[in-house]
């Protein structure tokens, strides 16, 4: 059988991903997560000495804590199947990637399992975040030194 004609058959017959519906549920899920984040940051600002800027750190930590509870109790993957990117893109998704890998690899022990595999999924995010930050800053530093732009 010819692979090309077969791929055409598959494209015709395979169920399409419901893109519009997925986008709507992603919007809803992601929106709710961010709105909860906003409320939590208000709490930190109101009751603790945090400004708008500094409140984002404890907010992120709190969101990851919530992600841990939802991951451990098995709810996060349900939210994930419903919300798609809506639950993957917020930091809770980053937390879920780290925590689910940690829980999964517990059976290999805490050093070689949990420790070594925790960033199996989320590691790429840190690696490319750091690397792109390096490149971006390097370019900007060079441009500033040449002149023309300022910080």
Partner 1 sequence: MKNLLMLSIILLLISGCSDSAKISIYHVDDDQEEIEALENVLQDNQKLSEAAGVFFDHQLAVSLQVKPMSKFNKEKIKKSVEKEVQAKFPNHDVFVSSDLKITWELMKIIEERPIEKELEEDLAKLQSLAKEET
Partner 2 sequence: MIFSVIIAFVVGGLVCVIGQLLFDVAKLTPAHTLSLLVVVGSVLDGFGLYEPFIDFAGAGATIPITSFGNSLTHGAMQEAEKHGIIGVLTGMFEVTSSGISAAIIFGVIGAFLFKAKGKVS
Partner 3 sequence: MKNARTIQFVSKPSIVSTAVAVGPLEKQSPFHPHFDLIYEDERFGQETNEKGHAQLIEETCRLALMKAGLQIPDIDLFLAGDLVNQMTPTNFAARQLTTPFMGMFSACATSVSSLITASFFLESNHMDRILFGAASQHNAVERQFRYPIEYGAQKPPTGQWTVTGAGFGILSHHISGKPFVHSATIGKVIDCECIDPLDMGSAMAPAAFDTIQQHLAQNKGTSYDFVMTGDLGKNGYTILQELIQSSGVSSYLIDNYRDAGAEFYGKDKKFLSGASGAGCSASVYFGPIYAELLAKQWKKVLLVATGALLSPLSFQQGESIPCIAHAVELWME
Give the footprint of partner 1 on this chain (CB under 8 A): 45-46, 49-57
Instruction: Measure the CA–CA gap between 98 and 91, rounded to whole angstroms.
Output: 11
Query: Which residue has tokens 């500033």?
Result: 144
Q: Is 30 in the site for partner 3 (CB under 8 A)?
A: no
Q: Is 10 in the site for partner 3 (CB under 8 A)?
A: yes
Output 54 or 62, the one with its CB closest to partner 1: 54
Contact 101, 122 (CB under 8 A): yes
- Minimal distance, residue 58 CB to partner 3, in Å: 23
Instruction: Say how many Å lie between the first and final Cα of the chain, rounded.
Output: 60
Task: Select from partner 2, partner 3, partner 1, none the partner in contact with residue 51, using the beta carbon and a kind-dependent cut-off of 5 to 8 Å.
Answer: partner 1
Structure token digits, residue 10:
């598959």
Q: Tell me the residue length of the chain.
A: 151
- Minimal distance, residue 76 CB to partner 2, in Å: 10
Q: Considering CB under 8 A, how many residues would be counted as binding partner 3?
A: 39
């Amino acid at each position: 059988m010819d692979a090309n004609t077969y791929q055409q058959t598959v494209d015709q017959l395979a169920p399409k991903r419901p893109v519009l519906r997925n986008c709507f549920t992603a919007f809803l899920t992601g929106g709710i997560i961010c709105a909860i984040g906003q409320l939590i940051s208000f709490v930190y600002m109101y009751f603790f000495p945090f400004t708008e800027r500094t409140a984002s750190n404890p907010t992120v930590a709190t969101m990851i804590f919530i992600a841990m509870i939802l991951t451990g109790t098995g709810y996060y993957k349900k939210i994930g199947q419903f919300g798609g990117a809506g639950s993957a893109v917020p930091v809770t998704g980053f937390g879920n990637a780290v925590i689910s890998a940690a829980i999964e690899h517990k059976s290999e022990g805490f050093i070689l399992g949990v420790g070594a595999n925790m960033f199996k999924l989320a590691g790429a995010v840190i690696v490319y975040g750091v690397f792109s930050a390096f490149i971006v800053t390097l370019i900007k530093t060079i441009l500033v030194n040449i002149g023309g732009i300022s910080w």
